[in-house]
Amino acid sequence: MKPRISVLTLAVDDLDRALRFYRDGLGLHSDGIVGSQFEHGAVVFFDLQHGLKLALWPRTSLVHDSGLAPHAPSPVEFSLGHNVASRAQVDAVLAQAHAAGARLVKAAHETFWGGYAGYFQDPDGHLWEVVFNPQLLPDDT
């Protein structure tokens, strides 16, 4: 299989709240909720980087579309890593997320592998790691 991941979809309980958190709170660009005219179609898209989008979709719609039975979400099933160019940017992004309504899970700290990282959860409990990794600097530094 060639790696061709183009959309990361997060199931959310309240699409409007999630849109406000990511667009207004974190500053990600979105055209807002689209697809509302279709049953189970309402979704929000954000451009992350070239060829990659973040989608927010109501949990009930993902359950319907996948055919899987709903169950209690677990925030430690996966995490999303947001790589930044400096320790100061880690602190700034964590502060921005907290001001937007995120729950800070783990304060930024020096890591055993020589980086600097901290964790927050979005309003639906999705776990984000904000990380400065000197070996994996983002392309736009």
CATH at residue 28:
3.10.180.10
Q: Would you say 133 and 110 are in contact if contact means Cβ atoms under 8 Å apart?
A: no
Number of domains, the chain: 2
Q: Which domain holds residue 112?
A: 79-132
* Residues 6+ away with beta carbon under 8 Å from 15: 33, 42, 43, 44, 56, 57, 58
Q: Would you say 45 and 33 are in contact if contact means Cβ atoms under 8 Å apart?
A: no
Residue 48 domain flag: yes
Output the tens digit of pLDDT for each of the chain's 141 residues.
988 899 999 999 999 999 999 999 999 999 999 999 999 999 999 999 888 999 999 999 999 999 999 998 898 889 999 999 999 999 999 999 999 999 999 999 999 999 999 999 999 999 999 999 988 877 775
Same domain, 51 and 12: yes
Residue 72 domain flag: no
Same domain, 13 and 60: yes
